[in-house]
Amino acid sequence: MLTSADRELLDGLVREMGPRLAGYLRHSFGRRVDVDEVVAETFCRAAGNIAALRRAERKDLYLLRVARNLCLDSFRRKPVELVSDERLEAARGDDDAPEMMVDEERRTALLAAVAELPDSQREIVVLRMSAGLTFEEIADLLKMPLGTALSRMHVAVQRLRERLLNDEESQKPRRAGVRTKSV
């Protein structure tokens, strides 16, 4: 039975952690999970084990761990079912595009490049840049040495750099061609 203090705790966490969990799940697992469903289930599990949530020193890490385990469990139990494009778009519809990103084309290219990273690298990038965890926290969450988390991040970021550079290079002649034709 939840007390009013528990409800208050959960309400605060829903507001603070809901978007962070959704961002982590969306960028880490993409179309393999129904993000809204997993976020809701994460809070239900937390409510179901409210004593453990109360005890957790870092409630954000606790919730991220629950959400991650839910996804890994679902991958183990059934073949991956991709979320349909309609549901994905509907879920994205809740996002307000970040105002600071001036170049939308660049942002799209960056997100596409992140989505193409190997799972083990992408999750670290997302935990660091979206969930805002330190490398120590990431290493603890993913049960790996700190050095491994750091080196996977480095490999991932260098891959992203190369990929974006290649994209820019491949677009140069095309753009030049378009200009030539239009003259």
Partner 1 sequence: MTACERVSGELVRVMYGEADAASMSPELAAHLSGCERCAAGLRETRGLLDELETALRPPAASESALRRIRAALDSRPRSIPIAGAARKFAILRPVWSMAAAALLLLAWRASVWPVAEISTPAPVVLNTAESAAVAEALAMLYVEDSSDVRLEYAAERIDSLREQLGESGRALPWTADDDWDLPRPTSG
- State the residues that interact with partner 1 by CB under 8 A: 10-11, 14-16, 18-20, 22-24, 27, 36, 39-41, 43-45, 47-49, 52, 62, 65-66, 69, 72, 77, 94-96, 98, 100-101, 106-107, 110-111, 114, 125-126, 128-130, 135, 143, 150-151, 153-154, 157-158, 160-161, 164
The torsion of the CA quartet 114, 117, 121, 122, rounded to 10 degrees, works out to 40
**CA dist., res. 152 & res. 82, Å (int):** 26
Cα–Cα separations (whole angstroms), residue 120 to 113, 146, 149, 153, 154: 14, 14, 9, 9, 12
Q: How far is the CB of 181 from partner 1 (least distance, A)?
A: 31
- Phi first, then psi: give them for residue 176, nearest 5 degrees: -60, -40
Tell me how far, at minimum, the Cβ of 166 lies from partner 1, in Å: 14
Q: Which is nearer to partner 1, 55 or 175 (CB)?
A: 55
* In the complex, minimum distance from the CB of residue 62 to partner 1, in angstroms, rounded to a whole number: 7
Tell the smallest beta-carbon distance from residue 65 to partner 1 (Å).
5
Q: What are phi and psi of 180, to 5 degrees?
A: -60, -45
Task: Name the residue nearer to partner 1 (CB basis): 33 or 153.
Answer: 153
Classify burial at 81, counting beta carbons within 10 Å of its beta carbon; exposed 0-12, middle 13-18, buried 19 or more: exposed
Q: Which is nearer to partner 1, 100 or 178 (CB)?
A: 100
Around Cβ 181, how many Cβ atoms within 10 Å?
7
H/E run at residue 69: helix 59-77
DSSP 129: H
- Identity of the residue, 32 or 91, whose beta carbon is nearer to partner 1 in the bound complex: 91
Minimum distance, C-beta of residue 138 to partner 1, in the bound complex (Å) = 11
Quick one: 39 or 83, whose CB is closer to partner 1?
39
